[in-house]
Amino acid sequence: METDKAQIDIDRSAGDFSYPMNYEFDAGTGLTEATVDYISGVKEEPEWIRDFRRQALRTFFKKPMPTNWASRDLENIIFNDIRYYLSSGTKPKRSWDDVSPEMKQTFERLGIPEQERKFLAGVEAQFDSEAAYSNIKKVAADQGVIFVGSTEGLKEHPEIFRKWFGKVIPVGDNKFSALNAAVFSGGSFIYVPPGVKVKHPLQAYFRINAESFGQFERTLIIADEGAEVTYMEGCTAPKFETATLHSAVVELVALKGAKIQYITVQNWSNNVFNLVTKRGLAHEDAEIKWIDCNIGSRLTMKYPGVVMKGRRARGEVISIALANDGQHQDTGAKMVHAADDTTSNVVSKSISVGTGRATYRGLVHVPKHLKGCKNNTECDALLINPHSRTDTYPAISVRGNRHAMQHEASVSQVSAEQIFYMMSRGLTESQAMSLSVNGFVNDLVRQFPMEYSVELKRLIELQMEGSVG
């Protein structure tokens, strides 16, 4: 199949719209200490957090860009052209009726209240810098579950917040985690008390509405001993002329025996730089699972990690990436084994369409004097068109003789025989291609909650439309 196949049109109509807004608060473009002070001032934050932001800003200025291995596309981010804070007030509305009509229209189109009515235990929607709407079902609230924005979290629950904030991902972890620490706004703070199992997923939507805007949400989830929680986030943005930056930091803490599942469906428009740092800390017998699906954005660099700090802790990353024309999905996983008998599993599947590029970057680290650690990594890549590109760069470091590590990666094309067979049974070529691609990711898609998996399948079908011909 060497002939050039027709390129695919991505269906982004679901998220590609924006409304003019009159923002009450606007930090302007550019980044100085004044920007940071402005954000802190608007939010009426305590002094310690203002100092934290200033310190982080200095770290951000000092840190170099990750240039030696990262995509050169990063150089196209002009930090001084970005608007770092935009909001219409910092207090999220508790009732849907209080939300302003423009925002409501936005979220109606994204289907938030319906979702909530259906099954979600809590939902928070972030519009540019601040949560526009936030609610949590009574049942969960009665169990003592806290689900609020990061600002509210640090003000109302400092005793839990301060203990873990910035502890899983230090400010200086990388340039973008430092940037987030300096200008963060929004995101979720969740605390699940010991033994509480939150039945339904908690959910957040992130929406960028303004041009040249940088979204820097900060999420901290703590599952106390034996607690269980699932969190889902979805991201969309309209397509503007200029590039937009999304740089989040997400920290998860699973205490003894707790379970956290974090699900992301990222469908930013394809001019968003999506540079996200996500890491979980799993204590004894705890389990952290990242389910990560990247369909949108111009450049995504995201490597969810789990530090397995307690014995028998478990870490898992399930990753699906779809890179279409002009997109680079640079995703992966980091598994740091820091205790005996810890196990980790990484399954990554990527599809490159048109001129899209999908990259897997992985790290598995087993330090000295541990025993019984196990890691399994599988990365499979599917290439659809002659100009599609895929890369795999894992790094596995093992010390000691009581561990078992295996890594496997494969790259292939959709099998011509398969397509031929399906066509001989009456399917069109694009139907056959779509079926084949869906089959490729099917076992991973099934791990998403039902609504999402249906949506994902539909999205993949749309993406594959016209990819052959």
Partner 1 sequence: MIPSAAVSEPPVDSPEPLALGEDAPEPTPPAGKGGLFLPPPVQKDQPTWFQERQWKAWEKFESLPLPHRKDSAWRYTTLGKLDISRYTPAAAVDSSAAEALAARSLGGPEVAGRLVTVNDRVVQRTPLSDELRAKGVVFAPMGDDLSAQRETLLRHFMANESVLGSQKFFALHQAHVRGGTFIYVPKGVHVELPLESFHWIAGEGAAIFPHTLVVAEEGSQVTLIDYLDSADRRQNGFVCGVSDLYVGAGAKVTYLAAQNWGEEVVALKMNTAHVAAGGHLTSLHVNLGARYDRLESHNLLAGAGARSDMLSATVATASQEFDQRTLQDHLAPDTGSDLLYKNSLSDKSKTIFSGLIKVAPGAHRTDAYQKVRNLLLSDDAEADSMPGLEILADDVRCTHGATSGFVDDAELFYLQSRGIPRLLAQQLITQGFLTEVLTRLDDPRATARLADLLAAKFERMKPR
**Beta carbon nearer to partner 1, 242 or 412:** 412
Q: CA-CA distances (angstroms) from residue 461 to 242, 262, 454, 455?
A: 29, 25, 11, 10
Give dist(CA 309, CA 457) in Å, integer.
Answer: 36
**Beta carbon nearer to partner 1, 381 or 432:** 381
As measured in angstroms, the least distance from the Cβ of 381 to partner 1 is 7
Contact map string, positions 353 to 392, toward partner 1, x by CB under 8 A = ---------------xx-x---------x-xxxxxxxxxx
As measured in angstroms, the least distance from the Cβ of 269 to partner 1 is 26
Query: Contact with partner 1 (CB under 8 A): which of 76, 105, 242, 410?
Result: 410
Contact map string, positions 68 to 97, toward partner 1, x by CB under 8 A = xx----------------------------
**Beta carbon nearer to partner 1, 391 or 451:** 391
- The interface with partner 1 within residues 131-170 (CB under 8 A) comprises none
Stretch that binds partner 1, among 97-105, 208-216, 315-323, 405-413 (CB under 8 A): 405-413
Which residue type is seen at 351? I
Give dist(CA 286, CA 221) in Å, integer.
Answer: 14
Query: Contact with partner 1 (CB under 8 A): which of 167, 402, 446, 458?
Result: 402
**Beta carbon nearer to partner 1, 244 or 392:** 392
Query: Contact with partner 1 (CB under 8 A): which of 19, 393, 420, 421?
Result: 393
Length of the chain: 469
**Beta carbon nearer to partner 1, 181 or 333:** 333
**Beta carbon nearer to partner 1, 196 or 320:** 320
Count of CB atoms within 10 A of residue 27's CB? 26
As measured in angstroms, the least distance from the Cβ of 377 to partner 1 is 9
- The interface with partner 1 within residues 191-230 (CB under 8 A) comprises none
With CA atoms as reference, report the closest residue to 318 among 455, 462, 181, 445.
445
Name residue 146's beta-bridge partners: 191
**Contact between residue 185 and residue 154 where contact means Cβ atoms under 8 Å apart:** no
As measured in angstroms, the least distance from the Cβ of 361 to partner 1 is 9
**Beta carbon nearer to partner 1, 207 or 328:** 328
Which residue type is seen at 456? L
Which residue type is seen at 446? R
Contact map string, positions 315 to 354, toward partner 1, x by CB under 8 A = ----------------------------------------
Q: Which two tokens stand for residue 206?
A: 């992130």
- The interface with partner 1 within residues 411-440 (CB under 8 A) comprises 411-413
As measured in angstroms, the least distance from the Cβ of 210 to partner 1 is 37
Which three-class secondary structure state does DSSP give residue 176? Answer: helix
CA angle 182/186/189 to nearest 5° reads 105
Count of CB atoms within 10 A of residue 94's CB? 12
**Beta carbon nearer to partner 1, 137 or 328:** 328
H or E element in which residue 316 lies:
strand 314-323
Contact map string, positions 2 to 21, toward partner 1, x by CB under 8 A = x-------------------
Give dist(CA 213, CA 82) in Å, integer.
Answer: 6
φ, ψ of residue 437 to 5 degrees: the values are -65, -40
With CA atoms as reference, report the closest residue to 121 among 188, 44, 183, 186.
188
Query: Contact with partner 1 (CB under 8 A): which of 394, 440, 444, 457?
Result: 394
Stretch that binds partner 1, among 71-79, 111-119, 400-408, 417-425 (CB under 8 A): 400-408
**Beta carbon nearer to partner 1, 410 or 428:** 410
# chain residues binding partner 1, by CB under 8 A: 39
φ, ψ of residue 192 to 5 degrees: the values are -115, 120
Q: Is 67 among the residues that bind partner 1 (CB under 8 A)?
A: no
Query: Contact with partner 1 (CB under 8 A): which of 338, 398, 422, 423?
Result: 398
**Contact between residue 216 and residue 146 where contact means Cβ atoms under 8 Å apart:** no
Left, alpha or beta for 373 (phi > 0: left; psi -120 to 50: alpha)? beta
Give dist(CA 349, CA 293) in Å, integer.
Answer: 10
Give dist(CA 220, CA 376) in Å, integer.
Answer: 27
**Site of tokens 């990594």:** 377
- Measured on CA atoms in the order 445, 449, 454, 459, is the torsion positive or negative? negative
Give dist(CA 89, CA 214) in Å, integer.
Answer: 17
As measured in angstroms, the least distance from the Cβ of 383 to partner 1 is 4
**Beta carbon nearer to partner 1, 54 or 389:** 389
Query: Contact with partner 1 (CB under 8 A): which of 22, 80, 95, 401?
Result: 401
As measured in angstroms, the least distance from the Cβ of 198 to partner 1 is 38
φ, ψ of residue 197 to 5 degrees: the values are -110, 110
**Beta carbon nearer to partner 1, 392 or 463:** 392
**Contact between residue 397 and residue 407 where contact means Cβ atoms under 8 Å apart:** no
Query: Contact with partner 1 (CB under 8 A): which of 28, 144, 400, 439?
Result: 400
Which residues bind to partner 1, rule: CB under 8 A?
1-2, 68-69, 368-369, 371, 381, 383-413
